[in-house]
Every structure is written in structure tokens, then in C-alpha cells.
Structure 1
Amino acid sequence: MQHLADRLRRLPPSCGPVRLVGVDGHAGSGKSTFAGLLAAELGGAPVLRLDDIASHDELFGWTGRLLTQVVEPFTRGATAHYGPYDWHARRFGPARALPAAPVVLVEGVGAGRRALRPHLARLLWMELPREESWARGRARDGAEQRDFWAGWVLAEAEHFADDPSRPYADLLIRQRGTGPGTPFQPGYEVLPGPAGTAEPSRDITHGDDPSAMC
């Protein structure tokens, strides 16, 4: 993980002074867990979770809000402010600050959408097929979210059919031992993405000897 973090730090800024890094993939593919580990390796880099920008009424119609509340301030080197959405209360909450740090991660389905890509320093894609991802997401969220998931899978499929992210990914992140019913294992393989340069794949294992990390 250290090697990947170092590579991201060395990138030129992409959004004002910020190196904005997207972590995209299907719902349930492990984006949040991976982004949290990467943020820690980056010394506590801020993470913007797109679940905080989306809403029940706008599962994918949040582009304008993201550009206005986050991207535009970053281009000026200013702290961004956004009101995170409360999925239980079904309303946006008080404004939260997001500093224009050297690296900021944007994590969520649609982080690599065409409107955001010009502002990204790198796009990472969690390499797990959608059916496996959705099965893990349903298992995680339980029966009480069954109706939500029924609508979500249709909305996600429609979004990626119109605005795919994976073809534009610089790197593919594949979790070791993935598959239906597979427990979490904190190890990842980094592969060149469709839009990236060919590099040898690297294995990154959280908690291993740092000398062996990617």
C-alpha cells in the first residue's frame, strides 16, 4: 500500500492544489474499505464518500452538487463544504468541511463519471464483477434493505451503461480471495487499468512487512 500511496503523492495536482483520486466500482465491491486503508497510508488523507452527496431522489443525479460544493472550491485552493445526506432521516445535514489536502479520495459508485474525470489525478476501479459485488452488498445490508437494493441495481446498471467508469480506470484494484461468501482478507493486487500504462502487477497486503508492500 505504501508504494501506491507514494505514487499518488508524486502525481501533479489535478484540481487546484489537490490530487483528486477516484475509487469507483460496483456497490459492494469494497470501495469504502480500500479507500480507508489507502487514506491511512496517505497519512490521513480526506475521503469524500459519494453516499454523502447522493440521495434517495438522486442516486446518480448529484453531479452539479459535487462540482459546486467540492470541485469548484478545490480549484481555488479553498476548503470545500457539503451537507452529508442522512439515509435514515432522508435529508441533508449540516455542512461539513473538506480541506483542499495534497491528496483527497473520492469514493463511491460513479466516482469516475465523465463530468468528474477531468478533475481526477487517477481513477482506481475495484475489480469485482457486479453480481458478486451486489451479493456482498445485499449480505452486508440485510433484509431491511431488500427493497432499496432492488431499485439500486437497476439504477446502477443504467448509470454504467450510459457513463461507464472502468474503461477509463488507470489502475484496477483486485482483492485477494474474492468471491461469493468469501470473508474479507486485507490484501489487494494492483493491476494496470484500461487507461493506464502497463506496469507489473503488485500485491499489497495490509499489515505485512512494509518492505513487501506495493
Structure 2
Amino acid sequence: MRPDATPAPASGQQPETAHAIVTHVPRIVDAVVADARPVVLIDGRSGSGKTTLARALAAAIEGAQLVRLDDIYPGWDGLDAGSAMVVADVLRADDPGWRGWDWNVGRPGTWHPLDAARPLVIEGCGSLSRASRALATFAVWVELDGPTRKQRALARDGEGYAPYWDRWARQEDRFIAREDPRSLADVVIDETATA
């Protein structure tokens, strides 16, 4: 979770332990390369490595567009709303796109159109639901232990995220209990052993 008010780390400044996840990119690319327009969902809890994997995957798939739910969630209580927007806006057949959330003023921001003909990588907790899985070609669940995830997330986003960690985790718990995204995934990447 990285609101716009919190500066994103420069490229290559993610915690070192997150880099191991990019070794999975070639097998995912191999799995989707035959699709005319692959749509890949990458889900997992905060700090699990979704963003690192998604950036590497989007760079490896020619012409891919990357959508980060961190840019869409309408505030700190917006996981379910962000998940719903994946289906209602990002994955719709006609005029797909997404409305950003302006974290600085706490209200909806700019509309970002998507090209319905180009590959798409969507990452964020809540991206892999039963409804979104039916509209995608491939899905990934990223698993990592809680202490490592929290350490990574706070190192990435700063202490500004610390007061919201438990609040966000409760939303993740509810979403996971309701949708069981891990069971919907084509690939489960368990980074616990490499963290």
C-alpha cells in the first residue's frame, strides 16, 4: 500500500529480499505468451512482492500495461472497492480504464484509459476475485510470512504506513476468507523460503 503522499522508492531500491521473486517471470511469460491479449492478475498480502513481480512481468510482456491497485483504492478502507473496480472498470470490454485516487486530498482523481487490445498486468490485494478470475487469462498468488511482509512494506512505504498496517490487514483477511484467491491462482509463489 503506497499512497501518493508517500514517495515511492526509486527503481531498484526495493528491499533486497524482494528481488528473488523476479526469477518466476520467465515461467509466467511462457504460460501466457500464446494468448492474443494476456491479462495477468497478481495478488497477495501487503509486502509479499506483488509490485516487484508485476513490474518485471509487465516489462517482459511486449506492450503490456500495468495497473496497480495502490493507485485505485479509495483510501485506507478501500480494498473491497478497489477489487470491485478491477471488474467494473479495468476489465470491462468497452472503454476499459481506471480512476485514480488522490491520496493527498482524499477523493477520486484522474481517469486513466487502457488499450483493450494490449496485454494487461494487474497487481494488488483484491485483484484476484472469483469475478476477476473469470475475465483474466492467468492468475498468480504471492505468499510470504507476516513478519517479513511487514518489514518489507514499512521499509518500502515508510513509517507513514505503520498506523494503518492492522487496519489494512483486517481487510485482507476478510477478502481472503470470502474469495480464497490462492485457490483461484494458476501459480502460487511461496517466497517464505527465500525471504
TM-score, normalisation: structure 1: 0.70
Contact 1:8/1:103, CA 8 A, preserved across alignment? no
- RMSD over aligned Cα atoms: 2.2
Which of these residues, 17, 20, 29, is aligned with residue 48 of structure 2?
A: 29
* Residue equivalent to 1:125: 141
Residues 174-193 of structure 1 correspond to what in structure 2 (within 5 A)? 174-175=190-191, 178-179=194-195
Q: Displacement of 1:85 after TM fit?
A: 1.1
Indicate the structure with greater helix content: 2
Distance in 2 (alpha carbons) for counterparts of 1:36 and 1:166: 21
Match status 1:59 vs 2:79? yes
Identity of aligned residues (%): 31
Contact 2:40/2:138, CA 8 A, preserved across alignment? yes
- SS of the residue 2:126 aligns to: coil
Match status 1:7 vs 2:27? no
Q: Displacement of 1:102 after TM fit?
A: 4.0
Shift of the 178–101 alpha-carbon distance from structure 1 to 2, 3 Å rule, reads farther
TM-score, normalisation: structure 2: 0.76
The AA in structure 1 aligned to 2:98 is: Y
The AA in structure 1 aligned to 2:31 is: R
Higher relative contact order (CA 8 A, sep 6+): 2
Shift of the 31–101 alpha-carbon distance from structure 1 to 2, 3 Å rule, reads farther
Structure 2's unaligned 5+ residue stretches are: 1-24
Shift of the 26–64 alpha-carbon distance from structure 1 to 2, 3 Å rule, reads closer
Contact 1:53/1:66, CA 8 A, preserved across alignment? no
Q: Which has the larger radius of gyration?
A: 1
Contact 1:26/1:134, CA 8 A, preserved across alignment? no
Match status 1:103 vs 2:122? no
Which range moves more in the overlay, 129-138 or 86-95? 129-138
Distance in 2 (alpha carbons) for counterparts of 1:41 and 1:101: 17
* Residue equivalent to 1:144: 160
* Residue equivalent to 2:69: 50
Which of these residues, 19, 36, 44, is aligned with residue 38 of structure 2?
A: 19
Contact 2:73/2:81, CA 8 A, preserved across alignment? yes
- SS of the residue 1:10 aligns to: coil
Structure 1's unaligned 5+ residue stretches are: 180-214
Contact 2:143/2:192, CA 8 A, preserved across alignment? no
Q: Displacement of 1:177 after TM fit?
A: 6.6
Residues 59-78 of structure 1 correspond to what in structure 2 (within 5 A)? 59-72=79-92, 75-76=93-94
* Residue equivalent to 2:58: 39
Cα displacement string for residues 21-51 of structure 1 (whole angstroms, at most 9, x for unaligned residues) = 1011111011111111111111241011112
Distance in 1 (alpha carbons) for counterparts of 2:175 and 2:128: 11
- SS of the residue 1:92 aligns to: strand
Which range moves more in the overlay, 52-61 or 30-39? 52-61
Contact 1:82/1:96, CA 8 A, preserved across alignment? yes
